[in-house]
């Protein structure tokens, strides 16, 4: 029994869902997303989406909840969108953007310049006395998470002082320093 996979997905207002040949296409005000689903039956009835599996084999059971979550993320993305915020913690760490180019100063000898996918909107906020923040927003949750993880990988937060790039609201495990 799949607790997540059996839950129906309510279709938000202004979103259309089409199922054709194991490909689900979701259209909304923010864009269009499509995903191929093999090994699951997707039905749209009365403003809700139902995901069912054809058999109780191990592979179908494993993917049942996954497919339901992916379709839910697609419907929420094209109606509301997804936002990830990254915070740069450290002296001299700066972030700026010109269009889709992100310029990061992270204490290396050269700045890191990264091209961001055109589907992702990027915004940098630098207030005096506060850590710089990078805001990523898009209708594709997987793409936003992938770009955020790539940016974070340039300088992961270290456990002693907490310097590095972290998600806003992320709790870091801190270690005690040397004891004299």
User: What does the pLDDT average to over 98-111?
Assistant: 95
Q: What is the pLDDT of residue 3?
A: 83
Q: What is the pLDDT of residue 178?
A: 86
Domain extent listing, the chain: 9-79, 82-167
Above 60 in pLDDT, residue 1?
no
- What DSSP string describes 77-141? HHHT-EEEEEEEESTT-EEEEETTEEEEE-SSSS-EEEEPPTTSEEEEE--TTS--EEEEEES-H
Write the CA distances from 168 to 130, 152, 158, 161, 179, integer angstroms: 13, 12, 15, 16, 30
What is the spatial distance between Cα 25 and Cα 100, in angstroms, rounded to a whole number?
27
Q: What is the pLDDT of residue 21?
A: 87
Least confident of 36-40, 74-78, 136-140: 36-40
pTM above 0.75, yes or no: yes
What is the spatial distance between Cα 31 and Cα 74, in angstroms, rounded to a whole number?
10
User: What does the pLDDT average to over 21-39?
Assistant: 92
Q: Which CATH class is domain 82-167?
A: alpha beta
Sorting pLDDT into bands at 50, 70 and 90, what band is 88?
A: very high
82-167 matches 9-79 in CATH topology: yes
Sorting pLDDT into bands at 50, 70 and 90, what band is 34?
A: very high
The CATH architecture that domain 9-79 belongs to is Alpha-Beta Complex (3.90)
């Amino acid at each position: 029994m799949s607790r997540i996979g059996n839950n129906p997905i309510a279709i938000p207002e202004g979103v259309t869902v089409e199922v054709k040949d194991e490909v689900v296409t979701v259209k909304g005000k923010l864009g269009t997303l499509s995903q191929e689903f093999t090994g699951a039956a997707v039905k749209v009835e009365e403003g809700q989406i139902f995901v069912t599996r054809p058999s109780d084999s191990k592979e179908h059971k494993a993917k049942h909840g996954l497919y339901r979550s992916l379709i839910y993320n697609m419907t929420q993305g094209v109606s509301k969108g997804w936002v990830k915020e990254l915070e740069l913690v450290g002296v001299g760490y700066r972030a700026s953007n010109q269009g889709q180019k992100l310029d990061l100063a992270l204490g290396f000898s050269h700045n890191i310049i990264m091209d961001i996918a055109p589907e992702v909107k990027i915004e940098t906020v630098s207030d005096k006395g506060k850590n710089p923040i990078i805001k990523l927003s898009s209708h594709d949750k997987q793409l936003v998470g992938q770009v955020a993880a790539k940016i974070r990988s340039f300088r992961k937060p270290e456990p002693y002082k907490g310097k590095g790039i972290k998600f806003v609201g992320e709790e870091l495990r801190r270690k005690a320093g040397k004891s004299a």
